Amino acid sequence: MDQTMAAILFILYLAATVGLLLHTFFFSWLLRGRRHAALPAPSPLPPLPEVGVPLQLVQLPVCNEDPGMVGALIDSACALRYPKSRLVIQVLDDSDQEGISRGIREHVAGRKAADPERRLEYLHRNERTDYKAGNLNHGLEAARRHLREEICGDPDHVIVSIFDADFVIPEDYLEKVACHFTALDVCAVQASIRYINGEENVLTRTQSAFLTNLHLMDFSTRGHAGHLTTFRGSAGSWRLSAIEALGGWSGDTQIEDVDLSMAAQLSGLRIVYLDDLWVSSRLPAGYNGYKLQQRSWMKGIMEVWRKHGRGILTSPNLHFRQRIMAADLFLVLSLQPLYMISHHLLAIPSYHFLQGVGLSDEMGYAAAALAVLLNVSHIPFVRSHLAGADAEVIQAAPAAGRIRDHVASILVSLGMFATFTSGLLEGILGFRVHREPTQKSGGGSAPRGILPARHLTALARITAMELVLAAYSLFFVLWALPRGQWGLLLLYGPFALGYPWVMVHSLAELRGNTKKTGSRGPA
């Protein structure tokens, strides 16, 4: 290989190494903040003295989801312990399948008949303009008339709580969040999330560990430490005046929740994370549903950075540390899959370059150290259960089972790097690909594994990327073994198992989808 080209590839390899290592430093900073955040919670704030009990609007946005699961959500909303005269519940149905909409309408009608005093409304849109963001705005517009009359034109005293279809709301949720809006600089309150099906299979266990740690170790810690954090799209509440001051929900990114969160905090408002208030939810139990969800989320992160990055770096409302930690959230932490894939692809040419200068053995030692560091650091795609609400259950499990789950979790996470990177690149390049709600099942009336034909092309593209990376990983193992590069094998060898693991499971689900729908392939 030409030495100049080899040197250039080695420099790129070093750049990817720096990208992988940077978040370890930021993670240490977050851990320090987490210890300080673990101090006893302050006494609850008193209710708003001017108006007594604030008016609460509970929005339940749904779209083509399992009617049984949606019914459980509606039932939990109707069971909320809060004065009926100060509570409005909206079921915001964006479904385009009449059978699903009819089932939801009938459930709402049944609840209203059983409790006529309950202000429960069903709203359906004919067009899904701006997707979930448009659905939430549609509900706010419909509620605006009587809300204005009841609050005498002051939206500061209206709280809007949002719960997606796969959530079950605890009875005391509204009581616990209301007091936190006493401070007028609080724009949103985010509850913690438990996962009902977190132990269903390897995939859900992996997601549960990842998301619980992401909530407690990233988002919550950032919020407690005064850094930018984010509303998670559900199981949280907003002050109506904050939403209106920011122009409502915007549909120009994949993740309207992060978009509005950044806009609010750039204007000087803050988001409060509650580590002691838990709301139950469900995880996608199938690989293809999880892929579509993660592709959309990763794409949305880059879209929000493109939209707010300049403001974050220049805002007079943020100090230097806040800007640095925000850059870590969007650019360092989020780009870890892209860094790792680049690192992997450039390893062989970098080895040959270092061999020419007599440093190839040092590369193996550095790779072994990096493998250990990444696995114990906060890079979330290869971490174990560092923290979480289920810590006692995890510790009580047999050691062999914990080791097995941890190994499987690493393989699943590594195998998802193709999906993560696909979404990141689409977001960086500005592709416009809006997502559908992630398929989850909670009531047994929606068959698992059946995906709309429009999703199959995107999944086929990701699977092709996985196939290429799996073939390269196998070649890498065969290349490294005779050279005795055990450090490189420790770092990159698991990819040779992770990519096939995810690819095989995804293809098995797609075959099941083809049999159930009679489809012959991607549309």
How far is CA 14 from each of CA 1, 8, 313, rounded to the nearest angstrom?
A: 18, 10, 25
Nearest CA to 502 among 412, 373, 408, 392? 412
Query: Is 94 annotated in the active site?
Result: yes
**495 contact partners, CB below 8 Å, separation of at least 6:** 344, 414, 417, 469, 470, 473, 476
Q: Helix, strand, or coil here: 125?
A: coil
Which DSSP category does 339 fall into? Answer: H
State which H helix or E strand residue 351 sits in: helix 347-356
Residue 257's identity, in one-letter code, is: D
Query: Is 257 annotated in the active site?
Result: yes
Query: On the CB side of 5, how many CA atoms lie within 13 Å of its CA?
Result: 5
Helices (H), 55-130: 67-78, 98-114
Burial of 507 (C-beta count, 10 Å sphere; 0-12/13-18/19+): middle
Catalytic choice (94, 130, 164, 405): 94
Helices (H), 199-246: 202-213, 220-224, 240-245
Catalytic choice (164, 166, 218, 257): 257
Tokens at 264, concatenated: 């609010």
Q: How far apart are CA 355 and CA 227, in angstroms?
A: 44
State which H helix or E strand residue 6 sits in: helix 3-37
Tell me which residues are annotated as active site. Answer: 94, 257
